[in-house]
Structure 1
Amino acid sequence: MKNVPVTSRPSRIKFSGHTADDGLFGPDSVTWRISAMPQMGLAAHGAATLQMLHPMVMHMIDQASAFRTNPASRAELTALFGRTLTYGDTAAANRAAEVLAKIHHRVTATDPVSGRTYHADEPDLLLWVHNTLQWMVLRVTDSFGPTLSATDKATYLGEQLISARLTGCNVDDVPTTEKDLYAYIDGMTPLLAMGSDTIWFKEMVLPALVAWKPETYLPHVMGVAVAGLLNAPQRQVYGVDRPAWQFEANRQILKGLFEAEARKIPVLSRISLERQKVDEKAFGSPH
């Protein structure tokens, strides 16, 4: 795949070990611009929360992942892959995708109802994971910024066809418009379910506020924000619906925190920091 051409390179965005070229997106892409923003952590949180309502995905995480016993490590690996794919050079991004594909093909889970054993790289599952992430990114930018125009959204979804292909999706099935993406998510609603193996995940990612302390308040705010990003049918499956005013009040609090954090470090500096992190450690790299 050809690199994205660069016409004018910001001086603070350097080349180094795993960033020898602009990789799959480049500094002119919407992907680079929004992926470095602090609220994208919320998008990842929200996407994972939605993904686990697909029973086959939840079975896979429950049976073949370390998420339950070591959630921090599992989340860091996911973040490392996303960072490498987004900000790494072409070689690093392709290597990360190849390693992930091998992992997905190797791991299996068994449907407790049908008894069928399946691999993590089933096309429908890969498509669900990809689309839920892109849907949640648009939900987060709509709710918390940075504001994306209709053109920005279309450009971003077009760019993400690259990610879809590298993660094993059939790109012909991947929505490339906001309308089609929302239609896909809505169409998946009848398949969503809260199984016995979803309970521990819900308790982990949507924690209850048990005391007014910093260590419990922030996870609660994030959990309420994630619940607010889900649509009404998804919240109903999880059993986490609340009055609209509570979601809005929580959104305003978190939006202010994100805006304050964004003012501390300009976006170009954030991109540079992400590239430095890839140089220090790239997913699938032996060094």
Structure 2
Amino acid sequence: MDSSPDMGLFGPESVTWKVHSEPIVTMGGLRSLYLQALHPRAVAAIAQNSGYKSDPWGRFNRTSEYVGTVLYGSTDEVERIASRIRRMHSRMTATDPRTGERFRIDEPELLRWVHVAEVESFLSTARRAGLKLTDAEVDTYYTEQLKAAELVGLDPATVPGTAAEVAAYYERMRPQLGITREAAETALFLTVPPLPDFWGNRALRLSLNFGPARWAYFGVAGTAVALLPPWARKMYGGLGLPTTDLSADLSVRGMRLLLAGLLAAAPEQYKMAPMRRAALERAGLA
């Protein structure tokens, strides 16, 4: 009988765990949302089916739970949450804003775009923040993430699994991308989201909307946009200059150092995500 711990899809020796041990990858999640919004059908699917405007922080928590479970959950936990997501997506449709055509949101093209935008954003944000990875480790990360792609219903053989394949995929997709009304609204919402209800009463939230917390978030959102590929920044009306990339690198490296300092001073229970801590305990590494 096999008594080894059930580490789910990945494990302590995986590049995936190495990348996602970096708290700065959360900014990669925000970057990926700006990138996903450039696909007219993908952003229509989100805008027409998601309650992100009425409950943005709830949606953020649910997405974080899904990502955390895929990364650190046991095989049973991963299969259970993935099955729930597949069932939910199978019942949803949206209308293409350009053609009026009705489409399923679990179309492979849309699932593939969301997957690639997400994993590429996580990886590139961590690397540009200063995480050292070899070219082989980069390719291994993309290959490991084919398991996550399969969970949502994709055939792994149709999903980019190396850095070169991701770059070629983006090149193929660019003619299909652009700014629609829903993309512009989504990007604006990502840049100026409402503060969560648990941040005090209405008067306090109103003061915070124009205070340091809001300006700090502007810095985070601005850095996430600056981390986009130059062609994506141009679609949003920004600059594709190398100097923008340099500024973004300096900004995200500074944020990584700031996070490291804050976590070092934080109480022990806040130093690590609970799902990661539980996975390390299963592996005997806590």
In structure 2, relative to structure 1, the CA distance for the partners of 1:112 and 1:126 (3 Å cut) is same
Residues 196-253 of structure 1 deviation map (CA, whole Å, 9 limit, x = unaligned):
1122211122349xx9842222222112212222122211211133765455345323
Distance 1:182 1:271, change over 3 A: farther
CA contact (8 A) 1:32 1:271 kept: no
| Aligned CA distance change for structure 1 residues 145 and 155 (closer, same or farther; 3 Å) | same
Deviations 1:42-81 (A, max 9, x none): 1111111100110001111111110122111111111110
For normalisation by structure 2, the TM-score amounts to 0.81
**3-state DSSP of counterpart to 2:145:** helix
Change (3 A) 1:27 1:162: same
Q: Which residue of 2 aligns with 1:109?
A: 94
Partner amino acid, structure 2, of 1:114: T
Q: How far, CA to CA, are the matches of 1:80 and 1:272 in structure 2?
A: 11
In structure 2, what is the Cα distance between the partners aligned to 1:232 and 1:247? 8
Query: Aligned AA for 1:68?
Result: K
Given residue 232 of structure 1, which amino acid in structure 2 is its aligned partner? P
Compared with structure 1, are the counterparts of its residues 95 and 270 closer, same or farther at alpha carbon in structure 2 (3 Å cutoff)?
farther
Report the alpha carbon displacement of residue 257 of structure 1 after superposing the two structures with TM: 2.6
Which residue, out of 230, 233, 236, partners 2:231?
233
Matched, 1:273 2:242: no
- 1:2-42 Cα deviation digits (max 9, x unpaired): x9x97xxxxxxxxxxxxx72111011111112213111111
Percent pairwise identity: 28
Partner of 2:109: 124
- For residue 118 of structure 1, give the secondary structure of its aligned residue in structure 2: strand
CA RMSD of aligned residues (A): 2.7
1:53 partnered with 2:38:
yes
- 1:256 to 2:254 alignment: yes
Matched positions, count: 258
Instruction: Give the SS at the match of 2:143.
Output: helix
**Mapped contact 2:142–2:161 kept (Cα < 8 A):** yes
Aligned to 1:202: 187
Q: Paired residue for 1:158?
A: 143
- 1:23 paired with 2:8, answer yes
Q: Cα 1:172–1:242, aligned 2, differ >3 Å: closer, same or farther?
A: closer
Contact 2:230 2:241 (C-alpha < 8 Å) held by counterparts:
no
Amino acid at match of 2:213: E
Provide the rounded CA distance (Å) in 2 between the counterparts of 1:160 and 1:201: 26
Match for residue 118 of structure 2? 133
CA distance in 2, matches of 1:241, 1:77: 33
Q: 1:64 to 1:213 in 2, by over 3 A?
A: same
Q: TM-score, normalised by structure 1?
A: 0.81
Structure 1 gaps, min length 5: 7-19, 279-287
User: What is residue 222 of structure 2 aligned with on the other side?
Assistant: 224
CA contact (8 A) 1:36 1:270 kept: no
Map of 1:179 onto structure 2: 164
CA 1:183–1:243 in 2, change beyond 3 Å: closer, same or farther? closer
Per-residue deviation, 1:168: 1.2
